Amino acid sequence: MLNILLIAIKIIILLGFLIFIHELGHFTIAKLCKVKVNEFAIGFGPIIWKKQGKETKYALRLITLGGFISMEGEEEQSENEGSFSKASIPKRIAIVAAGATVNIIFGLCVYFILAISTGPYISNELETTIEGYAAQIAGMQAGDKIIEINNKKVNSKYDIDKIMSKNNGENIELKIQRDGKIEEYSIKPTEVTLQNDSHKYYLGITMKYAEDNFLNRCINGGIQTTEFISEIGDNLKQLFTGNVGINQMMGPVGISEVVAKTNGISEFLQMMALISISLGITNLLPIPALDGGKILILIIETIRRKPMKQETEIGIQMLGFAILIGLSLIITYNDILRIF
Angle between helix 264-283 and 214-240 (nearest 10)? 50
Distance of alpha carbon 175 from its chain centroid, rounded? 36
Output the pLDDT for position 244: 62
pLDDT at 209: 93
Tell me, what's the pLDDT at 113? 95
Do the Cβ atoms of 211 and 120 come closer than 8 Å? yes
pLDDT in tens, 43-83: 888 899 999 988 899 998 887 777 888 898 877 766 777 88
* Residues of the chain scoring pLDDT < 70: 1-4, 77-78, 239, 242-260, 327-328, 331-340
Q: What is the pLDDT of residue 242?
A: 66
DSSP structure string for 270-284: HHHHHHHHHHHHHHT
What pLDDT is recorded for position 271? 85
Separation of alpha carbons 250 and 208, rounded Å = 38
Q: Which amino acid is at 334?
A: N
Percent helix / strand / coil, the chain, rounded to 5: 55, 20, 25
Q: Render pLDDT for 165-181 as a digit per residue (tens, 0 to 9).
A: 888 888 999 999 998 89
The pTM of this model reads 0.80
74 and 291 in contact (C-beta within 8 Å)?
Answer: no
pLDDT of 199? 81
Q: What per-residue confidence (pLDDT) applies to 108? A: 95
Domain extents for the chain?
2-117+235-339, 122-209
Classify domain 122-209 at the CATH superfamily level. PDZ domain (2.30.42.10)
- Which residue type sits at 21? I
Q: What DSSP string describes 164-184?
A: HTT-SS--EEEEEEETTEEEE
